[in-house]
């Protein structure tokens, strides 16, 4: 009898240890995982070593999970409660038929269904308990999504030579000097220049004369569709880098040669409402 008690206690202990080992790790990483993940959903494992639609390579690492609730996804992706998702998991031995978990994942293959690659997971209490109300999770994940934006912005701020608050005083087409090599291509940027009056420097040294020239593509070609376009009197925050794109990195202003900057990436031009956020990110 005592032997049986010890045996049962041992099984219980091992199981509890396993859950305990999984939960703190997952909980501790939850915010980071949510930041990294493009798709987060709660679901129940329905098949192991299987896939949910044709076109996904089946392996021992692929499992099929029925979606209980969607916590985060890109707007283009169709994913809803009851859908079957293929998840390529890191450790298939951690799952069995009926396992309930929150999956933190990145997109993988999109076809008749969605296939994702697991970045992490968090087991939900077993026994078929109802997942947390969607609103609670969504709130948490909305916060996480905001932090994702912050992370991308922080990376961008780190790589910028200057971050300034300014106003666009003038916009003009820039014609490369005859000495410069020009090429005719459908991806020709059709460079324009914005003269930006610097009102405040958030990153970088003092700007001589308080004006900088920012070169930007005027063309709406596919190559430049995500680059900011500037208009006269536009005010905002500008992430600037020394011009390495136009082939002529300087310009003459008032008889003196000045460095020219570019502002090419999506998110390199931000509205004034982002000033507190940018200041905070630069400070931290």
Site for other proteins in 116-175 (CB under 8 A): 152
Q: Does 225 bind other proteins (CB under 8 A)?
A: yes
- Which has the closest alpha carbon to 88: 70, 67, 105? 105
Q: Between residues 93 and 181, which has the closer beta carbon with respect to other proteins?
A: 181
Element (H, E) at 6: helix 2-36
Q: Would strands 114-123 and 84-88 be described as parallel, antiparallel, or unpaired?
A: parallel
Sign of CA dihedral 158, 162, 166, 167: negative
Q: Using CA atoms in the order 91, 94, 100, 103, what is the torsion angle rounded to 10 degrees?
A: -20
CB of 238 to other proteins, least distance (A): 16
> Interaction with other proteins in 48-67: which residues (CB under 8 A)?
53-57
Q: Which residues pair with 172 in a beta bridge?
A: 193
- Shortest CB 7 distance to other proteins, Å: 45
- Sites for other proteins among residues 243-282 (CB under 8 A): 244-245, 262, 264, 266
Contact 130, 164 (CB under 8 A): no
Nearer to other proteins, 15 or 182 (CB): 182
Rounded CA-CA distance 58/87 in Å is 10
Give the one residue of 48, 50, 109, 258 binding other proteins; rule: CB under 8 A: 109
Q: Which of 27, 220, 250, 280 binds other proteins (CB under 8 A)?
A: 220
Q: Work out which of 222, 233, 255, 276 binds other proteins, going by CB under 8 A.
A: 222
Query: Do strands 162-173 and 250-253 pair parallel, antiparallel, or not at all (unpaired)?
Result: unpaired
Binding residue (CB under 8 A) for other proteins from 29, 31, 92, 110: 110
Six-digit token pair at 214? 């920012």
- Name the residues that contact other proteins, by CB under 8 A: 38-39, 53-57, 74-80, 106-114, 152, 181, 183-188, 190, 219-225, 244-245, 262, 264, 266
């Amino acid at each position: 009898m005592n032997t049986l008690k010890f045996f049962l206690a041992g099984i219980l202990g091992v199981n509890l240890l396993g859950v305990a080992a999984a939960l703190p790790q997952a909980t501790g990483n939850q915010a980071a995982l949510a930041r990294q993940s493009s798709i987060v959903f709660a679901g129940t494992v329905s098949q192991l070593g299987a896939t949910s639609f044709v076109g996904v390579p089946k392996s021992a690492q692929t499992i099929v999970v029925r979606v209980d609730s969607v916590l985060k996804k890109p707007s283009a992706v169709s994913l809803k409660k009851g859908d079957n998702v293929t998840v390529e998991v890191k450790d298939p031995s951690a799952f069995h038929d009926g396992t309930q978990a929150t999956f933190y994942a990145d997109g993988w293959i999109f076809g008749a269904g969605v296939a994702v690659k697991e970045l992490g997971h968090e087991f939900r209490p077993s026994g078929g308990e109802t997942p947390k109300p969607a609103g609670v999770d969504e709130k948490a994940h909305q916060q996480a999504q905001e932090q994702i934006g912050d992370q991308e912005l922080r990376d961008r701020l780190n790589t910028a030579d200057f971050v300034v608050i300014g106003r666009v005083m003038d916009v003009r087409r820039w014609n490369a000097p005859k000495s410069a090599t020009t090429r005719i291509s459908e991806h020709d940027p059709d460079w324009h220049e914005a003269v930006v009056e610097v009102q405040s420097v958030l990153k970088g040294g003092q700007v001589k004369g308080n004006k900088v020239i920012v070169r930007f593509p005027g063309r709406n070609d596919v190559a430049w569709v995500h680059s900011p376009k500037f208009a006269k009197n536009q005010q905002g925050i500008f992430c600037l880098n020394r011009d390495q794109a136009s082939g002529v990195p300087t310009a003459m202003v008032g008889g003196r040669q000045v460095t020219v900057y570019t502002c090419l990436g999506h998110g390199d031009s931000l509205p004034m409402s982002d000033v507190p956020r940018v200041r905070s990110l630069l400070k931290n």
